[in-house]
Structures are given as structure tokens and as C-alpha cells.
Structure 1
Amino acid sequence: MRHDIEGMREEQRRIAKRVVIEDRLPKRIKTIGGFDTGYSGGRAKVAGVVLDYKTLEILERKTFETSVRFPYVPTFLTFREGPLLVRVYRKLKTKPDILMFNGQGIAHPLRAGLASHVGVLLGKPSVGVAQKRLIGEYREPRGRDDFKRLIFEGKQVGWVLRSKEGCKPIFVSPGHRVSVQRSLSVCVYCLGGRKLPEPLALAHEFSK
């Protein structure tokens, strides 16, 4: 299967121009959504979960399964998962105040990772949390809850957070309508003892 790589890059450049890296959130966040996609035997299971932001209790969840139509290509995850995540978001009756995705935000070569891309498409505040680095340099965080800046081309694009003792760090970056600092505070607030923050940990479970 052939894909228009340059065409996809150009779309990412257009998205990057629309990304807003400042806090444009409700004064009081009431709900947060977590989104993830799992794969098995050429099929994808997509999950969206809405949590009460204060208690992190589940308010709603939606899943669906479909065939996989786009391969995994590094830096182009949006073209594989983006349409599926938008679809599961639209199935939710409760639209979360802020969205969290298992992927990069602006910590991406063109500043248009999955969380940024989908955040722009939906016009929603979003945060990206990834388990691997795509770009940037950082100093290794030490113990649990320690974090360091992720720097790319002389600018901070996110954070490297040791979310759980004995685990590799996670990479947190703003997606859209969220500041660099707020992306970290939202992620830390949602930690519940697992490597991934609760919205993503739950979405990951439901996508299996």
C-alpha cells in the first residue's frame, strides 16, 4: 500500500499552524476523556472513556471495532488512528472538557502529533502522553514524580515524567489549547499509581 508521504506532511504543517499552546480551558475542569486504540489480527479496537475530573471515576465509555486500513508509520500515527478516535469521541454523549491521547502532542518533528492533530480537528483542549520519545533531548528523571524538560531545537516541547517507580518515563506534551505547564499538571493530577494516567490506563484496558 502506497501513501502520499509529502501530502501527509503538508497536512501536518497546516495543522501545526492552527495549534494553540496556551490555556483555553474552562475555569473549572469537570470532565476528562482518555482515548486509545488496540490492535489484534488486522483489527483495531478503539476506546473512549470519560472521567469525572475531581474523582477520576468513570462516567461513560464507548468502544467499537474495525479493520485496520493504514499501517503504522512513525510520525504519521494520526493517519492511522485519528479518524477512529474522532469517531469514538462523537459516540460519547458526554463531551469531555479536555482530551488525553496515547500519543504525542507538539513533541513531534512538525509539532503536529496525534493529540495536536485530533485536538485541532475537534476544537478541544488536548494533551499527548506517549511511552516513547519522537524528538528532543532531556535529562533522565530520577525517582517517582520527578520530571525534566523535553527540549527540541532550543525550545521546550514537553516533559519527561517518571510516573511510576521502576518504570521508564512517559513523554507528556500539550496537544492543543493547553500550555506546556498545564499539560504536566493535568497528567500528574490524573496519576493513580500506574505508569499511565488514569484516563489513558482505562482507555488502554477497554481497547484490548
Structure 2
Amino acid sequence: MAAARLAAGNFFYTMNISSNAHFGLSAFSDQAGTSATSYWPTTTASCDPAWLHGGSNNFPVPLVNLDKSKSNFDDVNDALNGKGAILPLRPTGKTNIADSLQSALNELTDAAKYRPRAKRAIILFTDGVPNEPGGSSAAAESAAFAKASLANSKGIPIYTIGLSQNATIKPKEDAFLGDNKGGSGKGIAFISGNNAIYVSVTKSADLNKAFQTIARSLVVLQ
């Protein structure tokens, strides 16, 4: 998790200095967060013991709203590092990707929040496959694919990064998140279209490269 936080932070930094990007963040567990201080209270397993802000309950799932008037770089960075009022990201609970994608789409289609001439995009990074909502993997995947189809209709690509290092989960992740290239499936990136790509990460050392690949693609598309 520490490597993922660092790589994500480098991605936001790269986008912030190389483009006029405005950022939002929708963290998720059993459901997506609804505010900067949202948390999921039912997880009892210890979280990322190497992380200074780790704990055994009240795990943060912050939402940082998109803002037409400012980049929100500092707020998103705070969410990654656990500074200020925004609670830090941590691994916890289940995986409700559909809810988080809907949250992101709500931000990107709200005329009061997005800039009309700006390139809109979602970057989804996860270390697993969905298991909520619906109580089964099939129902959860179907719900997420429906959100990807909605993104496609709005002209919003969903770039995906698969972070799992688990040999059992990895093939499922490649199928679910894929762009139908490099052996991946017709997953979230493929369904969302609009030049979205999927980057599969097989070792933590490649995390930074994955985020930077997407950063370069986004800068070119602006």
C-alpha cells in the first residue's frame, strides 16, 4: 500500500506541474465515501502496519470534490498522506467499484464543478476485483460495467491500473479492468472507450511507471 500511495502521489504531482489539471478523489470500500471525512467503521483487521496513520477501525474513504475554481492538488495529496482534515487512504473492507465510478461520474458531469473545455477522465486503481454491490462477483462486475458504459456515453475514458500481486486474483483483474490489449479482457477500460488504457502491474517496483504511463497519455489528450 505504501508503494501505491507513493506512485499515486507522483502521478498527481506530474499532472499538476505539466498541465492545468483539476483533481477529485473518490475512495471506496464497501461503498464510496461521501465527504472528506467519510470512513468505513466495520473493518477490524489491522491496516498497513508500516503506515503511520494505520489502525483497526474507522478506516477513511474520503471524497474530494472536483472544483471548477482550483486544482485541488493539495487536498488530494493530503488524502494520500493523512494531513489536515482529510483522512488518509488505507486498505480496508470490500470492493465496490461501481459506487466509486458513479461518484466520479457525478463530479465530472456536474456543470458547477467541471470546466466545459477541459478533458475529463477517470483513473481507477485497485488491487482487486469488485464484490459489491449485489452480493456476488457477477453482480458487482455487471454494475461496474454499466458505469463504464455510462462513462463511454459521456465521452469520459476510465483509465485503469491493476495493482494486485496475488497470482489467483491477477487474471480476474486483467479481465475486469482490461482494454482488450496485451492479453487483457474487454473490461472497464475497453467499455469506457475514448482512448482509455489498462496498465497491469505485476510487481510494486513498476507502480510508478504505470501511473506515469497514464499521465503521459492524459497530457497528450488535453
- Scaled to the shorter chain, the TM-score interval is 0.3 to 0.5
Q: Does 1 or 2 have the higher relative contact order (CA < 8 Å, sep 6+)?
A: 1
TM-score (norm 1): 0.35
Q: Which has the higher strand share?
A: 1
